[in-house]
Structure 1
């Protein structure tokens, strides 16, 4: 048993598995701090912030259209909210928001432009 060459490898493997196991718990605990949120509460973004993150890449920086994408600035809030939640019927625009509150905030911001 004293000269068994596998014992160091088995011990190193056991130590590595244990280390991975305990580090995964540490990572799960630090999940919110990686997002910058240490309070455990969700941070709500304004309609302008969400529109800048989600809409300007296709509809242009001023939301007045870009390339083949239509202008959306000043459209009806209900129309914008419906498209943000469900996408376009033709499938040209995917649904980009999942929350009713976010969609309403974005619709209010864009319709007010």
Structure 2
């Protein structure tokens, strides 16, 4: 009887640990290398930038950055450089609200968009 209770308790703890790992734990955050001037270096992940834009920007700028409620971004790098794009993301411009993207993601997205020419 005592052995059955111990095994059942162990199984419950094991199941709770698996639920935690599957649904709660996100693992370590990926960090982006930053240069001395604060810009993300060339090894910043393009896939990461695309994911960030996909989660935050396509509603207004379109799934192919073709524009919609907001302007097209498919060639925005020919109009603005990385620091100007960062400024727009942080502070907003015209109808775009400030802070749609925050933290290190701003530099990653701004670098990626600045390369779209």
What TM bracket, shorter-length normalisation?
0.5 to 0.7
1:83-102 equivalences under 5 Å are 83-88=88-93, 90=94, 92-94=95-97, 95-99=99-103, 101-102=104-105
Give the match's secondary structure for 1:63.
coil
Distance 1:62 1:53, change over 3 A: same
Contact 1:63/1:72 (8 A) holds in 2: yes
Contact 1:73/1:111 (8 A) holds in 2: no
- Unaligned runs of at least 5 residues, structure 2: 1-15, 32-46
Deviations 1:10-40 (A, max 9, x none): xxxxxxxxxxxxxxxx9xxx5x863441x4x
Tell me how large the CA RMSD over aligned residues is: 2.5
Aligned residue pairs: how many? 78
Distance in 2 (CA, whole Å) between partners of 1:82 and 1:96 is 12
1:1-113 equivalences under 5 Å are 30=20, 34-37=23-26, 39=27, 41-43=28-30, 46-66=48-68, 68-75=69-76, 76=80, 77-88=82-93, 90=94, 92-94=95-97, 95-99=99-103, 101-113=104-116
Contact 2:70/2:96 (8 A) holds in 1: no
Contact 1:58/1:69 (8 A) holds in 2: yes
Structure 1 runs of 4+ with >6 Å offset: none
**What is the TM-score with the length of structure 2 in the denominator?**
0.53
1:64: Cα distance to partner? Answer: 2.2
